[in-house]
Structure formats: structure tokens, C-alpha cells
Structure 1
Amino acid sequence: MRGTAPAPRGASDQEVTDRIERLLIKQYKTVTAREPSRVVFDNPLWTTWLSPNWLALVAYDHGDFSVNDEINGRVVRYDLRSLHALVFCFLVSAIFACFGFAARGFSGAIEFTAFAFSWLYGMNMLLAWTRVPRLIGKAMNER
């Protein structure tokens, strides 16, 4: 997921990256790199098993946030990756393929796999696409 959020007016890059870091701590993400205008986290999915699964960033294993000057003002640009969640959903879908194959043959395997994958990964991403931009926007507006 990639996007932007307006940076708070009058806030320095340090203040903006502090807000991002506080957001990541609340989301149980470990900051692995910090620069004056950039924050990066890396959390493999298997390290966050015990974290609450209702958090907006739970499905993302890597994220890169940077403060950038643009024509319309300063923005926080973010780039999030959910590779581990994608692989996990593929593996779970393979289990459903076995059930589908046993129930209805090859076509059943395809149907069960498509349903399982679209439900598991698709619904998580659909929720994230609505929740993550709001979460980042809210973090930028907090004092």
C-alpha cells in the first residue's frame, strides 16, 4: 500500500517522524531505521503473533515513511508491504484446495482456493485500505 498524508503545518521533520514512531509503537511495529525525515519498520509476521490482531498495521511486515516537500506543501509518504500475510494466505488457501478437491474435484479445488484467498487476504486488505490512511492522518493531527 502506498499513499500520502498531509504533514502538520509548522511541525519540523523531527516532530513528524516522532509522531510516526509513536504510531508504530502503538501498532507493535519495531523501528529499524530512523533518519531526520524517514522512519522504517521491519516486523516479520511470525514476530507479531502475540500482538493484537485488530490493529490497522497488523498485516504489514515492512513500512517506509518519509517526509517530503511537494508543490502543495509537505506530505508524509508511506510505502507498506504485506508479503508475509500474502504468503500465509496462499498457504491456508492450499489447505482449502485439498478440501475442495476431495469434495468436487479440480474445479472444487479452484473454487475453494479462490474463495479462501479472497476472503482471507482480500478482506484484510480491504479493511487496511480504509483504516491505514485514517490512522496515519490521525497520527499527523495529534499533538
Structure 2
Amino acid sequence: MLDTLWHLRGSLPLPPSLSDAEALDQVEGFLAAECKQVLGREADRLAFRSDMFRGERNAVLAFFNSGEFQITARSAAGERMLDYDLSARYGFLACVVFAMFAAGIGAIGDGLRGALIGAALALAWIYGMNRLTASIRVPHALSKVVLRGHEEWNDACQKP
């Protein structure tokens, strides 16, 4: 249950004209543009990971350090879905560090009560806003990538 805090899960329908391999090719290209290293690929599954905050901060997947995409059949009619499970453990831990900093500042002025309130507000604001933004941007970006291809996606990866 706690892993729900740092995971973003969802799915989107795949067009019937797109094969599983083509869909994963599009996602793999998108991951490359987002500076994410593909760990493994199977016929219906793709996994990635990245270093903490590697690449441009405005990248759609900048907040996520690992994840998995899997194509699943959902009905007898052949409807296929692209399921994703993205992990933001590093982002969550960074937000906790900022919350502890806010707790220290709150403790100076108002003791333990101020520390707890400051930490809770800082964590809710920083992590909550990142999570909210990601929960809107990720499905939108993935649907664009799957439907139109990764070639149209801006390369957010900083090449040395």
C-alpha cells in the first residue's frame, strides 16, 4: 500500500493498427529522448531506469527513476492496453529531505508543533504538486507518443 505513494500507474488503449512491437518501439524512442535507460525488452514488456534527476527538468518523466510498460489484452474482442507502472522513489526521498528542512525551520519558531506542520505542508506541497503534474502529463505524453510516434517528441535529453 505504501508503494502507492511513489508509483504512478495507469493504462491507455492501443489502436488496432499498431502492433505490439511498434507500440514498444515508440515507447522506447520516447524513453531515449527522456534520458531513460532501457533495462530489458520482451515481446510485450519494456522496463527502464535512470539516475536521479538525469536530463532536463522539464522532461515528462524527469520525476521517475524507473518503470515498466506492458501490453495486455483486456477483452475477447482483442482490445489491447499499454499499462505503465512508474516509480518516483528518488523524487519522493528528495521531497522528504526538503520536508525535514522545513521541519527544522518550523522547529525554530514554534517547537515540535511547528516542525510537524512545516514538514507536512512542505511534503504535501512539493511532492503533491510533482505528483499531480505527472499524473496529468504522463498519460497525455504517452498517448501522443503511441499515436503519433516518438519522432515528434522533443528530445529532452542533455547530450554531453
Q: TM-score range by the shorter chain?
A: over 0.9
Aligned residues: 140
SS state at 1:14 partner: helix
Taking the aligned partners of 2:41 and 2:52, their CA distance within structure 1 comes to 21
Q: Answer whether contact 1:6 1:140 (CA < 8 A) is retained.
A: no
SS state at 2:10 partner: strand
Mapping of 1:31-42 within 5 angstroms?
31-42=38-49
In structure 2, give the amino acid aligned to 1:107.
R
Taking the aligned partners of 2:21 and 2:110, their CA distance within structure 1 comes to 58
Gaps of 5+ in 1: none
Gaps of 5+ in 2: 1-7, 150-160
Taking the aligned partners of 2:91 and 2:51, their CA distance within structure 1 comes to 9
Deviations 1:37-94 (A, max 9, x none): 1110011315x1xx11111211111110011111160110111111111111111111
TM-score w.r.t. the length of structure 2 is: 0.83
Q: Select 1:129's aligned residue among 132, 135, 150.
A: 135
1:8 shift after superposition: 2.4
In structure 2, give the amino acid aligned to 1:100.
G
Moved over 2 A (4+): none
Deviations 1:97-136 (A, max 9, x none): 1110001111110111111111111100000011111111
Residue number in structure 2 paired with 1:68: 72
Residue number in structure 2 paired with 1:138: 144
Q: Output the aligned Cα RMSD.
A: 1.2
TM-score w.r.t. the length of structure 1 is: 0.92
In structure 2, give the amino acid aligned to 1:142.
R
Taking the aligned partners of 2:110 and 2:40, their CA distance within structure 1 comes to 50
